[in-house]
Structure 1
Amino acid sequence: MTEKTVQLAVVIGSVRTGRFGPVVAAWFAERARRRPELSVDVVDLRDTGLDAGFAERIGAADAVVIVTPEYNHSFPGPLKTALDAVGGELRDKPVGFVAYGGLSGGLRAVEQLRPVLAELHAVGLRDTVSFHGASGAFDATGHPREEVADAAATVVLDALVWWARTLRRARDEQAAGSPT
């Protein structure tokens, strides 16, 4: 990994049987991997668990994208448990969102995540990728039917790269004892 490479963790926030998150996350990770400045690690809560392994992978990342469904106007409980298990690993790192759900497209879940991430001293991005009626929004190959999804992903990825580099530089300066 070069100095310019940004390590991106794409977190699949649902662990339910029959979940749609892996389809959404695979598409977003594919989009991110097209960018030479990104190295992508897909972190599936179902496989990783909510323990030190999750925290270690988040700690290794310069930026995080949370792929979350909306359950009952919020995000999944296991995702909250995972975030609560992370100590300082998210501190001063940008977090983007890819949400999916019914009519709201998962946006209510994102709004519930924002104060949690603020409490962890993470930088939640304003722009979000959102899929309304997610299962119908993707074709049989796992790609969004609407081109606007690619444009939204580009906006989120551009912001993540900028914030990740800026905040990494600030963390490095602070660790070196330089005033920020």
Structure 2
Amino acid sequence: MTRLAIVTGSTRTHRRGAAVADWVLTTGRKAAPEGVELELVDLADFALPVLDEPAPAAWGIYAHEHTRRWSEAIAAFDGYVFVTPEYNHGVPGPLKNAIDYLYAEWHHKAVGFVGYGVEGGVRAVEQLRQIAAELKLADVGTQVALNTYTDFDYTGVDLGDPAATGVFAPAERHADGLATLLEEVTVWSRALATVRARTDRELTATAS
């Protein structure tokens, strides 16, 4: 079984990310390759403060329970799909903060990106690709870019209301893009399993 986490990258109260992540989960479960298990990992459920660990994440020594809980959640997966908005031309703070809490837990796994925003979240995704490279995450080429104008329905919505996120109504073509993304993430996650196993053996041998 290949386990993929759908990581919801926004924690804002009135966010579009929850609806997008739910769509990735339900649509993805129909389209994912055989033997793939998808699970939501919502940053809002972890309530991570601004990075407060005394030691660098690369040391793998965690002083706080919230970090250990986050570490256990992320380490359990073979690959990831980040669902990210674009804030001010870049990665949202909560997602970058959550990524920086960990290090080895990300290594030798695959990641794909579903972005959303007025430009489809593409600039946030480009930044995430640079971050992924440093964390030894294999990022796949296919990405899903959702537009907050055309992929959300605002019929009857009071746009003066700060909670007016609209109803998520993605174009049909995005389902095909998501299927391709999940196929690529699965292929790379499975290919990298041998690298993860070898790394684990080397660490065990060093420790003994």
2:141 to 110, 114, 126: 126
- Once the two structures are TM-superposed, the CA of residue 161 in structure 1 deviates from its matched residue by 0.9
Quick one: which amino acid aligns to residue 30 of structure 1?
A: T
1:157 to 155, 175, 182: 182
Contact 2:84–2:115 (CA<8 Å) still a contact in 1? yes
Say which SS state the counterpart of residue 111 (structure 2) adopts. strand
Cα deviation per residue 1:118-155 (whole Å; 9 max; x = unaligned)?
11111111110110126x414687552x1110110011
Between the aligned partners of 2:77 and 2:24, the Cα distance in structure 1 is 16
Between the aligned partners of 1:16 and 1:131, the Cα distance in structure 2 is 18
Contact 1:55–1:87 (CA<8 Å) still a contact in 2? no
Contact 1:12–1:66 (CA<8 Å) still a contact in 2? yes
How many residue pairs were aligned? 170
Structure 1 residue aligned with 2:61:
none
Cα deviation per residue 1:95-117 (whole Å; 9 max; x = unaligned)?
11000000x11000000111111
Cα deviation per residue 1:78-105 (whole Å; 9 max; x = unaligned)?
1111000012011010011000000x11
1:137 to 151, 154, 169: 151
Structure 2 residue aligned with 1:90:
106
Structure 2 residue aligned with 1:101:
117
Structure 2 residue aligned with 1:171:
196
Evaluate the alpha carbon distance shift between residue 171 and residue 13 of structure 1 in structure 2; reply closer, same or farther with a 3 A threshold: same
Quick one: which amino acid aligns to residue 132 of structure 2?
A: L
Between the aligned partners of 1:120 and 1:160, the Cα distance in structure 2 is 16
1:80 to 96, 112, 127: 96
Between the aligned partners of 1:65 and 1:6, the Cα distance in structure 2 is 13
| Higher Rg of the two aligned structures | 2
Structure 2 residue aligned with 1:12:
8
Listed as ranges, the gaps of 5+ residues in structure 1 are: none
Structure 1 residue aligned with 2:63:
none
- Identity over the aligned pairs, expressed in percent? 39
Q: Confirm whether residue 40 of structure 1 aligns to residue 55 of structure 2.
A: no
Quick one: which amino acid aligns to residue 137 of structure 1?
A: D
Structure 1 length-normalised TM? 0.87
Evaluate the alpha carbon distance shift between residue 52 and residue 174 of structure 1 in structure 2; reply closer, same or farther with a 3 A threshold: closer
Say which SS state the counterpart of residue 158 (structure 1) adopts. helix
Say which SS state the counterpart of residue 192 (structure 2) adopts. helix
Instruction: State the superposition RMSD in angstroms.
Output: 1.8
Q: Confirm whether residue 23 of structure 1 aligns to residue 19 of structure 2.
A: yes
Between the aligned partners of 1:15 and 1:141, the Cα distance in structure 2 is 18
Structure 2 length-normalised TM? 0.76
